[in-house]
Amino acid sequence: MTPKEIGERIKIARENKELNQKELAEKIQVHPATIKRYEDGFIQKIKMPIIQSIAIALSVNPMWLLGKSEFMQTSDMIETWNQSDIPDFPNIFPIETKKVRLLGKIAAGQPVMAEECFDSYVQCGTDIHADFCLRVQGDSMINARIYDGDIVFIHKQPEVENGEIAAVAIDDEVTLKRVYMSDNFVELRAENPKYKPMVFNQSNCLNFRILGKAIAFQGDIV
């Protein structure tokens, strides 16, 4: 399916939901102009986490948006499956999923201002014990295979072991880095050699807080 055809399906689903481009943009934490570019087919490849967020916001099947399913609603697909004669394979097991609240964006680069959005959710397996998730912005963690646009799932906890990846609040900004603690300072290290370690202490940071440990990541899967 071409980008233009995907964009047309996004527009159909948005109008069925009675949302304008600005309202959809607010739900998935992008600029309204980006929604217009999606719908006009100007973006050649929309990342799967974005497709999933759009699908959740519009209550449609993400595979329908991509042209990989004829069912606009997942409920229609499930009902058809239930009515069809699907063979029973002993080594295939159903995957249980749940929704995790998407709070906004987190920097994988220089820290960005904290943002929160409580209207969006991301689907994940029930084995991921996350309290919330964030969308990665930047390339500072690419050597840990965490890329721009990925979803990072966070388990709330005030402390992490040295070397673990965590979501960290620095005054009014948030970032995703490996954390190394000492008695007098905190060092945040990227997983990209072009970014230097960031060192914080009482003289250059009034408020440092670990929001939680990164326990899982969801990338661009199609």
Q: Is 177 part of the annotated catalytic residue set?
A: yes
How many whole angstroms separate alpha carbon 187 and alpha carbon 165? 12
Q: Is 22 part of the annotated catalytic residue set?
A: no
Give per-residue burial for 81-114: e unless 16+ CB within 10 Å, then b.
eeeeeeeeeeeeeeeeeeebebbbbbbbbebbeb
Catalytic residue among 75, 140, 196, 203: 140
How many whole angstroms separate alpha carbon 204 and alpha carbon 188? 14
| β-sheet bridge partners, residue 121 | 101
Catalytic residue among 27, 47, 105, 177: 177
Residues designated as active site = 140, 177
